[in-house]
Structure 1
Amino acid sequence: MNACSRRVLAACLALAGVMGVSVAEAHKASDAYLQLRTDGTAATLRIDIALRDLDRDLVLDADDDGLLRWGEVRSRAADIESLADRGVRMEIRDAQGAACRAGAPAPLQLEQHSDGRYAVLVRTWTCAHAPAIGTLSYGLFATTDPTHRGVLVWRQGGAAKTAVVVPGTAGMTVALGAQTGSEPARTHSLAGIFRDGVHHIWIGIDHVLFLVVLLLPAVLRRESGQWHPADAWRPALWSVLGVVTAFTVAHSITLALAVFDLVNPPSRWVESLIALSVLLAALNNLRPVLVETRWRLTFLFGLVHGFGFANALKDLGLARSELAAPLVLFNLGVEAGQLAIVAVLVPLAWAARRWRGYPRWVLGAGSAIVASSAIVWLVERLFDVQILGVGG
């Protein structure tokens, strides 16, 4: 095997790896929401944890019927509180440096978020003076879900602050006073929101595969009903730019509309339409209808994907006037994550395009696998069921 053949084989194997990454499971982002609020000499921490994450670790569904009922959750309240106490440790000190006294946790409650039901745990600290500093250590789901993130919202001098914390965070300082440490806290929180945008597209395998199946044909040309390798890189580059630009513009529009509550479609329908978009994009590779104008399909369904991205910001509990910076930083993070995927995928596809098996095995078989997975996701999301234990 000569050097050229080895490079093509390596590119094809790498493309197969891209196509095969968790293709059977469209993992929903695992987020917990923490709100730290002060009132006079008291500080209250509210933690919202997704029931799907708690069920994975604690097996809350006692009768294994796929439905979590309030009785099943309530009967495990002590276990949920214990898990939260181990995973989220908060110390509060007042303006004089004295430790505040933590009260007993409030009774467990449930809250409906945009992506499902959450357990709500609330604890209040009583201080001798106004609360000034919080110290957070975070380890929720550290051993069972490395993709998990916590989103902390608090107020400092009347301004809302946000930070994304990962399992393993220890001793993070949260300034509650009017000015102390305000600029470092702001820098940290905005950087965290940017990283969370990257994180959300990278773990959203349905978003990733939508892009992948749209980009794989970009290095080919369609003639007489057959795929042929592109001879020049400029047409391929324009095809890639068309897809990426259409996706970026479309999801940016609906991300903003959803975050500001101007348009608020049900999460179940959004997730179902995202699965449908992946299915149609894959089928278009198998039975091409749109070839030179794939960007139109990208733009249409990119609007739906934007609603999916919005779920990560909608549950922060921020006022509309406070959402501008997080929205911009999160969207920039999504774009950075998207460009990283393009930067890896397109050169591999270009290197492998002349392999005669590319149209059949990379584009054809890869699109067929993605289409099959998308059908599973679509059925699961439409009818709220699980097929063969695959999470939609």
Structure 2
Amino acid sequence: MMGFWLVRLVRLLCLLCLSGVALPALAHKPSDSYLALDVKGAQVSGQWDIALRDLDFAIGLDQDGDGKLTWDEIRARHAAIAAYALERLALSTEQGPCVAKANEQLIDNHTDGAYSVLRFTATCAAPVKSLDVHYSLFADVDPQHKGLLRLTHDGETSTAIFDPQHAHQALAVAAPDRWRQFATYVKEGVWHIWIGYDHILFLLSLLLPAVLLAPPANNLRGAFIDVLKVVTAFTLAHSITLTLASLSLISLPSRLVESAIAASVVLAAVNNIYPLFRTRRPVAAFAFGLLHGFGFASVLGDLGLPQGALVTSLLGFNVGVEIGQLCIVAVFLPLAWLLRDTRFYRLLLTGGSALIALLALVWFVERAFDMPLLGS
């Protein structure tokens, strides 16, 4: 039985590290697109921001194969971009489908790179009361892709998140369902922490010593209290900055935030090898958690919700992040407690921390100096 848990823990750590290699520079920014729809009578005006890197992978934009996209290359593929996107978005009402037509196309920058901006209009058969949206962008090439939708009508805003498992949703334009919106963002918060490899590795680095340092050493209650202090400090800190950043009260440059998050992972991991703040890990969790909150806020900032809708979405997203964290702790603590007296666990504490520190150092160099080391 002990061997079973050893194998499981090794696989978990390796999976996290290898997944981090697969997404080196933007470890908590998955493939997203941002779709804004404004309903006026029977007319729907749309703006769709789609990452150029995703479009290049799906339909090929880099015509000369030099790894760099120029404006001429993108402009030459405008018709293909519009056709590819609009074939994967269907809008309809009770009276039937709405006919979409592409308009101008621009380029804009988000926190994770350059995006193609497709503006279009869709004409429906009658004034829209409820809009059925079927979204399948990149469903055949990226099962983790998400479409973040903002729907506005007469000053009211509703939101939705699409993925291959939730490709069809019906949205009421007059009275958005705030509870449904809240539940959607709870789910998104859980998912965001689970694929936020830098956040997970930071948290695990702080938690690894818990079962060895908590006094008394053989008291599970002491280890639980130590873990609780670290997680509570981290939660409180990132909740503060997540809220402030999402409400646009504080803003920091994306490169600074991403680089600082990577540096925090390095320091948390090195602390397990050479003590920097071992007895003050909750304090470190709070200090670094302030930085991580800005990282959590990036996806909500890109969505660009107005204040009324943002409060509901922000609360749901924050609750989801905490649920995701608690799930990680619930898996970690029993395994760590079972293995605490083994040579393997002490090797994991030092060797695993060294591996995490090395990976995070690569992230830091890539983010701070815009220097890809592991590929994209």
Q: TM-score, normalised by structure 1?
A: 0.88
Equivalent residue for 1:174? 171
Structural mapping, 1:238-249, within 5 Å: 238-249=225-236
Equivalent residue for 1:111? 108
1: CA distance, partners of 2:358 / 2:220:
31
- Over residues 160-199 of structure 1, what are the superposed CA-to-partner deviations in whole Å (9 max), with x where a residue is unaligned? 11111112434421222x35xx5xx433322111111111
For 2:299, which of 297, 312, 317 is the aligned residue? 312
Change (3 A) 1:279 1:60: farther
Structure 2 residue identity aligned to 1:188: R
CA contact (8 A) 1:153 1:160 kept: yes
CA contact (8 A) 1:49 1:119 kept: yes
SS in 2 for 1:117: strand
Structure 2 residue identity aligned to 1:220: L
Instruction: Quote the offset at 1:350 in angstroms.
Output: 0.8
Change (3 A) 1:32 1:103: closer
2: CA distance, partners of 1:242 / 1:291:
13
- Over residues 16-62 of structure 1, what are the superposed CA-to-partner deviations in whole Å (9 max), with x where a residue is unaligned? 12211214234422211111112244111221112232233334344
Structure 2 residue identity aligned to 1:346: L
Instruction: Quote the offset at 1:259 in angstroms.
Output: 0.6
2: CA distance, partners of 1:346 / 1:46:
45
For 2:183, which of 176, 191, 200 is the aligned residue? 191
For 1:366, which of 352, 355, 358 is the aligned residue? 352
SS in 1 for 2:213: strand
- Over residues 366-387 of structure 1, what are the superposed CA-to-partner deviations in whole Å (9 max), with x where a residue is unaligned? 1111111111111111121211
Does 2:284 align with 1:297? yes
2: CA distance, partners of 1:367 / 1:151:
35
- Over residues 230-255 of structure 1, what are the superposed CA-to-partner deviations in whole Å (9 max), with x where a residue is unaligned? 32112211210111011101100110
Structural mapping, 1:308-347, within 5 Å: 308-347=295-334
- Over residues 70-100 of structure 1, what are the superposed CA-to-partner deviations in whole Å (9 max), with x where a residue is unaligned? 2232222233223312332222x3xxx5446
Structural mapping, 1:105-254, within 5 Å: 105-127=102-124, 129-156=126-153, 158-176=155-173, 178-179=174-175, 182=176, 185-221=177-213, 230-254=217-241
For 1:16, which of 10, 13, 19 is the aligned residue? 10
1: CA distance, partners of 2:169 / 2:309:
23
Equivalent residue for 1:83? 84
Equivalent residue for 2:274? 287
Structure 1 residue identity aligned to 2:39: T
2: CA distance, partners of 1:285 / 1:61:
44
CA contact (8 A) 1:25 1:205 kept: no
Superposition CA RMSD, Å = 2.2
SS in 2 for 1:286: coil
Structural mapping, 1:6-45, within 5 Å: 6-7=1-2, 9-21=3-15, 22-26=19-23, 27=27, 28-45=29-46
Instruction: Quote the offset at 1:317 in angstroms.
Output: 2.5
2: CA distance, partners of 1:258 / 1:66:
34
Does 2:269 align with 1:278? no
2: CA distance, partners of 1:79 / 1:138:
18
2: CA distance, partners of 1:137 / 1:254:
34
Structural mapping, 1:58-97, within 5 Å: 58-91=59-92, 93=93, 97=94
CA contact (8 A) 1:239 1:292 kept: no
CA contact (8 A) 1:229 1:353 kept: no
Does 2:359 align with 1:383? no
- Over residues 297-338 of structure 1, what are the superposed CA-to-partner deviations in whole Å (9 max), with x where a residue is unaligned? 111111111000001111222222331111111000000011
2: CA distance, partners of 1:41 / 1:90:
12
Instruction: Quote the offset at 1:121 in angstroms.
Output: 1.4
Q: Which sections of structure 2, spanning at least 5 residues, go unmatched?
A: none
2: CA distance, partners of 1:201 / 1:264:
21
Instruction: Quote the offset at 1:103 in angstroms.
Output: 4.5
Aligned length: 369
* % same residue: 45
SS in 1 for 2:203: helix
Instruction: Quote the offset at 1:270 in angstroms.
Output: 0.8
Q: TM-score, normalised by structure 2?
A: 0.91
Change (3 A) 1:170 1:378: closer
1: CA distance, partners of 2:107 / 2:64:
20
